[in-house]
């Protein structure tokens, strides 16, 4: 069994049913929640979207939104002016170019205001079942510590993990890395002695006891 397969087998034991923490019922809701999650915790986003999603239900709602009111709704997520601008622009683009539906390709998604590869991969993998690797701060940190990557570039990390993991495990595997980084391999005080991946980890700063 290769190293990548062994890592995935351990992660399957640790997080057998990984799911995104962002609450959503539709691709549009996940797209909006992921845009709001930039520099913000998932918990805070979920608090905000609980009421936001009752007022803004469709792409048209965002396209026609009053910017001041929308800013007030999402203020606590941080960078609210830019996020409100992106949400309105995104709504307009969806209405004008995609029949008010969230597109299903990377190229179309990243053409939307405020949407990069990370956000696009979240939507593709979680809503449309398209194998996608999400690279956030947790995935980057864990991948580096495990010795899977030697770069900080999210696009290069995504490509490296695509080569390391079988395609059908891209979505699940990257989400397991995210959860591992969030709960075990934290930025500060990582729980190395309790880590299921300790013996496979190449990080010089790891602790064994």
Q: 70-106, pLDDT tens digit by residue?
A: 999 999 999 999 999 999 999 999 999 999 999 999 9
Task: Please tell me which residue in 42, 64, 136, 169 is annotated as part of the active site.
Answer: 136
Q: 11-30, pLDDT tens digit by residue?
A: 999 999 999 999 999 999 99
Confidence label for 3 from pLDDT (cuts 50, 70 and 90): confident
Residue 45 has pLDDT above 90, yes or no: yes
Residue 1 has pLDDT above 70, yes or no: no
Indicate the pTM of the whole model.
0.94
Q: 168-179, pLDDT tens digit by residue?
A: 999 999 999 999
Q: Which fold has domain 27-127?
A: Endonuclease III; domain 1 (1.10.340)
Average pLDDT over the chain reads 96
CATH assignment of 3-18+133-200, among 1.10.1670.10, 3.30.70.1060, 3.60.150.10, 1.10.10.10: 1.10.1670.10
- Please indicate whether residue 136 is annotated as part of the active site: yes
Neighbour-count burial of 132, counting CB atoms closer than 10 A to its CB (0-12 exposed, 13-18 middle, 19+ buried): buried
- Please indicate whether residue 118 is annotated as part of the active site: yes
Specify whether the CB–CB gap between 57 and 64 falls below 8 A: no
Confidence label for 2 from pLDDT (cuts 50, 70 and 90): confident
Task: Please tell me which residue in 118, 152, 199, 206 is annotated as part of the active site.
Answer: 118
Q: What does the domain layout of the chain look like in residue ranges? A: 3-18+133-200, 27-127
């Amino acid at each position: 069994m290769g190293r990548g397969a062994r890592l995935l087998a351990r992660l399957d034991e640790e997080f057998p049913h990984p799911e995104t923490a962002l609450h959503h019922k539709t691709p549009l809701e996940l797209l909006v929640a992921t845009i709001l999650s930039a520099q913000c915790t998932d918990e805070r986003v979920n608090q905000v979207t609980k009421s936001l999603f009752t007022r803004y239900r469709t792409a048209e709602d965002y396209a026609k939104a009053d910017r001041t009111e929308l800013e007030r709704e999402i203020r606590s997520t941080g960078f609210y002016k830019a996020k409100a601008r992106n949400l309105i622009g995104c709504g307009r683009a969806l209405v004008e170019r995609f029949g008010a539906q969230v597109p299903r390709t990377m190229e179309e998604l990243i053409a939307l205001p405020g949407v990069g590869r990370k956000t696009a991969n979240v939507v593709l993998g979680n809503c449309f079942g398209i194998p996608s690797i999400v690279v956030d701060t947790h995935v980057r940190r864990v991948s580096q510590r495990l010795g899977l990557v030697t770069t900080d570039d999210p696009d290069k990390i995504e490509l490296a993990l695509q080569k390391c993991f079988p395609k059908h495990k891209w979505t699940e595997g990257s989400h397991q890395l995210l959860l591992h980084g969030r709960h075990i391999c934290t930025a500060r005080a990582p729980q190395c002695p309790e880590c299921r991946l300790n013996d496979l980890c190449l990080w010089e700063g790891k602790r064994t006891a």
